[in-house]
Chain A
Amino acid sequence: MEARHPTRDYVREEVLPTTFCPGCYNGIVMNAMALAFKELGIYDLRSYVFVSGIGCASWIPNPYLKADSIHTLHGRAIPVATGIKLAKPSLNVIVIAGDGDLASIGGNHLIHAARRNMDILVIMVNNLVYAMTRGQQSPTTPQGFITITTPYGNFEKPFDISRIIVETNANYVARWCIVNFPQLKESIKEALAKYNRGFRFIEIWAPCITYVVRYEGKTAGGALKEMSKKCVPLSDYEKLPMEKRDGCIAVGVFKKELKPSFIDLYKSYVEKAVGGVNGI
């Protein structure tokens, strides 16, 4: 049998090569998604819509995926996805965007969609900077990091976005480093199938190859090795004394629930008010 790369069934080969820098981890995110679909036996993406903002991560679905996708404005992917889901709840709506897009300029939308437990899957590629605009400090840039706008090291405290979302009404929250490929893929599968309800959030720790990894004078391989030491399973992380937690990234599934989602609650609300509405 001819060996076939898993992404080939899902990617528009005519628009390749991608615009990503050589070695960019966005390709790994693409693979994880493709494999997740494949292993779930989903070959036809007709019931999926991908929504992205602006930034490198936002290029993953658009124009590369063979599916309906819309590139929106910087920070506005979630409201657009919300609109799509409400107009046609039978669609599976997936948002893919960067840390800047989701946590900075669009941070407001993120917390409110999570609070509502809106029925969308949000995949945040956290590359620690605004990569597309050349690597400025973002709200997830770790303290001390040198970026173009923090030449002597970032003095601001970053967000731990996954922890913030855990505290909301979201149904599913997971964080994986790009080195945790199998777990990441399983997580995507889980959020697409077993937990396909309410707000699902997957953060992927994937430092920008150009403006973080190479900017620090490291190699792609070296960075991956270092990352695999840094990312600690959640259960182990919680056993670590406070002083040892610094610099570690807790990975794992933080939360998985099947609470009624926005759509569920909306349906029962309409049922109560006017005895139901067509289409929802």
Chain B
Amino acid sequence: MLKPRVPLEEQKVMPVNGDEAVAYAVKQCLVDVVAAYPITPQTIIVEKFSEFVANGEVKTQYVPVESEHSAMSACIGAAAAGARTFTSTSAQGLALMWENLYIASGLRLPIVMAVVNRALSAPINIHCDHSDAYGMRDSGWIQLFVENSQEAYDTTIQAFKIAEHPEVQLPVAVNLDGFFLSHTLENVYMLPDEEVHRFLGGYRKLVKTYVDYLNREVEYKLDPANPLSIGSLDLYDYYFEHKMPQVEAMKKASDVVRRVNEEWYELTGRSYGDGVIDSYAVEDADAVVIVLGSSAGTMKYVASLMRQKGFKVGVVRLRMFRPFPFSEVRELLKGVKVVGVMDRGLSFGSYGPLYLEVNTAFYYSKERPLLVNYIYGLGGRDLSPAMAEEVFMDLIEVAKISEVREHLKFIGVRS
């Protein structure tokens, strides 16, 4: 194994919860502007960050705005003026940001946002599911999901690098499960500040863009010296063409996410699969589940127990949901008999969003696994090891009879 540039002994261990892990990461990222509004279970992130600001530990401008809509608006303004920006939210807060999400991606602003996943109302619920994140899946944001607080810290720092990569220039959402991660204490290894600064290459670097009315290349930012009009009216004559670079940038993002994961490994000794997919015991598996977020931990644990009993089961955790790693999923699960797709949220009247993507991934392959969609954990319902086992046993049964009798199943719900 390669010796990391900052060996573990030189990393500082801090007992923090997932939210604090994110706040400490942001503290080290030379962020110019943070704007946010409180909402459970995200609140701790900005609360902690406002403390850093008040203590003079960071030079960030912190704006306690009056709603999430304003939070994202402030980030858009700041990012358009060239600032490195961060915000975080959950559930209704994210829903309220919705129209601004498209502005951020459409204007190619590399904003980073922590989304602490929480169920959407109604009825009111403050606990974890992925309905909030699924709601923004078409908004042009890169969406990463973490499994634990260490990964929340690591991924938050990586997110700035991914977002600001010259070939990407897109906003990134780092998703962590509400309460399961946000409020649970864990030992997290943190880098010295200088190492994070070095990793990010200092403050945000701007990309250059050719502007026809100035007849030269200028930095893409609002700057009175080189005035730009951004976000202007763009109808059927050009709107479509102007959306194409966004399509391209998303395509390139996968590679960047992978490369940043490798660089992180060289720096810290930690990596998460190939950055896009993190898999466990898939090679010889007959039955595999695909899952997002912290439930992967439970699924891996139960899979390890079942392996001891001779069941060939495995787990795929998608770290990246947007852009969706179609070919990677297809490649990895080639030859697996049955795949269970676990969604913590669903598209009412359809299936879980993750299931729909996995179906698409396999549509053109000759060798297609049988697919079953399991909806679990809505509104924070715990995914117990017993439920995890139930899913695996169900998949093994499907493999045995080579037929899926029910495509959509609900786990752990009372009738």
Contact = CB atoms under 8 A, between A and B. Distances in A.
Which label, helix, strand, loop or mixed, suits the secondary structure of the A interface? loop
A280 to B, nearest CB: 29
A99 to B, nearest CB: 11
Given A107-B66, A139-B66, A149-B64, A74 B40 contact: no
Contact of B43 (A71, A105, A133): A133
Given A54-B124, A74-B92, A107-B66, A136 B38 contact: yes
Contacts of A75: 67
Nearest to B55: A151
Contacts of A134: 38, 43, 47
Interface string A117-142: 00000000000001011101101000
Nearest to B42: A133
Interface in A48-94: 54, 71, 73-75
B67 A71 contact: no
Given A104-B66, A105-B37, A151-B54, A136 B47 contact: yes
B102 to A, nearest CB: 21
Interface string A147-189: 0111110000000000000000000000000000000000000
B121 A73 contact: yes
Given A71-B124, A73-B121, A149 B67 contact: no
Contacts of B248: none
B124 A151 contact: no
Interface in B352-405: none
A128 to B, nearest CB: 14
A19 to B, nearest CB: 12
Q: Contact size class for A? A: 20 to 34
Nearest to B62: A149
Contacts of B66: 104-105, 107, 139
Most interface-central of B47, B54, B64 (chain A CB within 10 A): B64
B88 to A, nearest CB: 13
B155 interface: no
B150 interface: no
A104 B50 CA distance: 19
A139 B67 CA distance: 11
B51 interface: yes
A54 B92 CA distance: 11
Interface centre among A130, A136, A150 (most CB of B within 10 A): A136
Interface of B: 37-40, 43, 46-47, 50-51, 54-55, 64, 66-67, 92, 121-122, 124
Interface of A: 54, 71, 73-75, 104-105, 107, 130, 132-134, 136-137, 139, 148-152
13 contacts: A74-B39, A105-B67, A130-B38, A134-B38, A134-B43, A134-B47, A136-B47, A136-B64, A148-B50, A149-B38, A149-B50, A151-B51, A151-B54
